[in-house]
């Protein structure tokens, strides 16, 4: 994997990682809330996951309409909505990219959790919870270059992107003709300091994905063409490689939720995705999916990495992939 790392200009010093279980806490992970285990309605889930004192609630119906508009290919041949088979992770990332300004040097951190609503006398309703945090790393990259070369030799601040660090949270549920219907959405600004991405500081201006594992050598991949932002298209490919998006001959790719680990309480994240743009080669996108707490005797977690570089208008991006498994720790007997 080391051969892929080729920086344009002068890079900023890398920071090593030691990744174990995902960190806990408000900025370090989506932690469990006892109210989620007792929720009898979607509204109760939203009150616990999106407390109004901390989050600015958004119009979920309007947000979903914007996502559908972006996904609509204009074909008009289907009786279903364009997002009928789109899962919560892809939908959440696309929603954030639709609503927020595009920045040249960013890190998106997605976290995924489960809950269940148990209305009295009815079968439990599965609920999926997603948080997307977007960190603007343009200023940090510029500061690093200034420290090395002096301000006169570095591009002005506006070239590195001006934008707040923000987070969105979405509550989704399956309904007829929709695998992830958005019922509630909220947004807020967040601090960069103290935030962790795969157990490393999110403020690190160099790539964290490169150092998350001692990655096996990557292989070239030819994904299907997509009109969506490269970050979103790459996320779907990664989820498909893990079996969380499945295709058949008669229809589009469809979301298949991961198995909810018995050891993970409602609201606690057991999957994290990092999507980095402009932190490595050219204007490339680097994506890592970390699926933890597998219901498997040997493998504790799966790591999937996809790297893509745009090759110009009208051309498909060049994509490489690599995957690794993390075994359960064994006693030293």
β-bridge pairing 285-291 and 271-277: antiparallel
**pLDDT score of 144 more than 70:** yes
In which band, very low, low, confident or very high, does the pLDDT at 120 lie, cut at 50, 70 and 90? Answer: confident
pLDDT in tens, 311-327: 776 788 899 999 999 99
**pLDDT score of 250 more than 90:** no
In which band, very low, low, confident or very high, does the pLDDT at 2 lie, cut at 50, 70 and 90? Answer: very low
CB 20 within 8 A of CB 213: no
Q: What per-residue confidence (pLDDT) applies to 3?
A: 33
Calculate mean pLDDT across residues 212-229: 91
Calculate mean pLDDT across residues 195-212: 93
Q: What per-residue confidence (pLDDT) applies to 76?
A: 63
Distance of CA 95 to the CA centre of its chain: 12
In which band, very low, low, confident or very high, does the pLDDT at 96 lie, cut at 50, 70 and 90? Answer: very high
pLDDT in tens, 46-88: 999 999 999 999 999 999 999 999 998 776 667 889 999 999 9
Lowest mean pLDDT among 80-89, 159-168, 172-181: 159-168
Lowest mean pLDDT among 77-86, 116-125, 148-157, 296-305: 148-157
Q: What per-residue confidence (pLDDT) applies to 1?
A: 35
CB 195 within 8 A of CB 166: no
Calculate mean pLDDT across residues 156-166: 83
| Rounded CA separation 247/226 (Å) | 15
**pLDDT score of 261 more than 50:** yes
Q: What per-residue confidence (pLDDT) applies to 97?
A: 96
In which band, very low, low, confident or very high, does the pLDDT at 226 lie, cut at 50, 70 and 90? Answer: confident
**pLDDT score of 309 more than 80:** yes
Among residues 313, 100, 110, which one has the least CA distance to residue 227? 313
Among residues 212, 284, 321, which one has the least CA distance to residue 7? 284
**pLDDT score of 21 more than 60:** no
Mean pLDDT value across the chain: 86
Calculate mean pLDDT across residues 260-278: 95
| CA distances, 52 to each of 2, 46, 171, 230, 315 (Å) | 45, 9, 14, 33, 45
Q: What per-residue confidence (pLDDT) applies to 223?
A: 80
**pLDDT score of 19 more than 90:** no
* Per-residue burial over 87-120, b = 16 or more CB atoms within 10 Å of its CB, e = otherwise: bbbbbbbbbbbeebeebebbbbbbbbbbbebeee
Q: What per-residue confidence (pLDDT) applies to 25?
A: 38
Kindly compute the dihedral angle of the four CA atoms of residues 158, 161, 167, 173, in this order, to the nearest 10 degrees.
Answer: 130
Q: What per-residue confidence (pLDDT) applies to 281?
A: 56
pLDDT-above-90 percentage for the chain:
64
**pLDDT score of 6 more than 50:** no
For every residue of 138-196, DSSP letters joined together read HHHHHHHHHHHH-GGGS--GGGG-----EEEEEEEEEETTEEEEEEEEEEEE--STT-E
Lowest mean pLDDT among 155-164, 272-281, 290-299: 155-164
Q: Tell me if residue 105 falls in helix, strand or coil.
A: coil
Q: What per-residue confidence (pLDDT) applies to 54?
A: 95
| Rounded CA separation 133/274 (Å) | 10
In which band, very low, low, confident or very high, does the pLDDT at 26 lie, cut at 50, 70 and 90? Answer: very low
Instruction: Compare 233 and 79 and report the one with higher pLDDT.
Output: 233
């Amino acid at each position: 994997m080391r051969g892929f790392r080729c920086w344009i200009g002068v890079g900023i010093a890398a920071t090593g990682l030691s990744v174990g279980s995902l960190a806990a806490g408000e900025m370090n992970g989506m932690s469990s809330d006892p109210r989620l285990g007792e929720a009898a309605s979607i509204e109760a889930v939203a009150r616990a996951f999106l407390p109004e004192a901390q989050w600015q609630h958004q119009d979920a119906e309007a947000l979903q309409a914007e996502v559908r508009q972006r996904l609509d290919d204009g074909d008009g041949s289907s009786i279903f909505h364009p997002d009928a088979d789109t899962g919560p992770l892809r939908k959440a990332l696309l929603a954030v990219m639709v609503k927020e300004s595009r920045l040249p040097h960013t890190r998106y951190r997605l976290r995924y959790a489960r809950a269940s609503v148990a209305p009295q006398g009815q079968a439990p309703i599965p609920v999926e919870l997603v948080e997307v945090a977007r960190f603007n790393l343009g200023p940090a990259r510029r500061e690093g270059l200034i420290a090395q070369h002096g301000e006169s030799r570095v591009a002005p601040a506006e070239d590195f992107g001006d934008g707040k660090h923000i987070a969105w949270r979405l509550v989704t549920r399956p309904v007829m003709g929709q695998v992830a219907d958005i019922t509630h959405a909220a947004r807020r600004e967040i601090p960069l300091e103290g935030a962790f991405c795969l157990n490393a500081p999110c403020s690190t201006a160099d790539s964290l994905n490169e150092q998350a594992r001692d990655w096996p050598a990557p292989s070239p991949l030819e994904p299907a063409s997509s009109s969506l932002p490269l970050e979103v298209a790459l996320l779907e490919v990664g989820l498909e490689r893990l079996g969380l998006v499945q295709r058949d001959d008669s229809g589009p790719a469809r979301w298949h939720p991961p198995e909810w680990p018995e050891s993970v309480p409602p609201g606690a994240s057991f999957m994290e995705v990092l999507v980095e743009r402009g932190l490595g080669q050219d204007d490339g996108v680097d994506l890592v999916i970390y699926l933890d707490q597998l219901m498997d005797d040997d493998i504790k977690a799966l790591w999937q990495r996809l790297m893509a570089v745009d090759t110009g208008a009208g051309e498909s991006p060049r994509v490489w992939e690599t995957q690794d498994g993390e075994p359960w720790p064994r006693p030293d007997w």
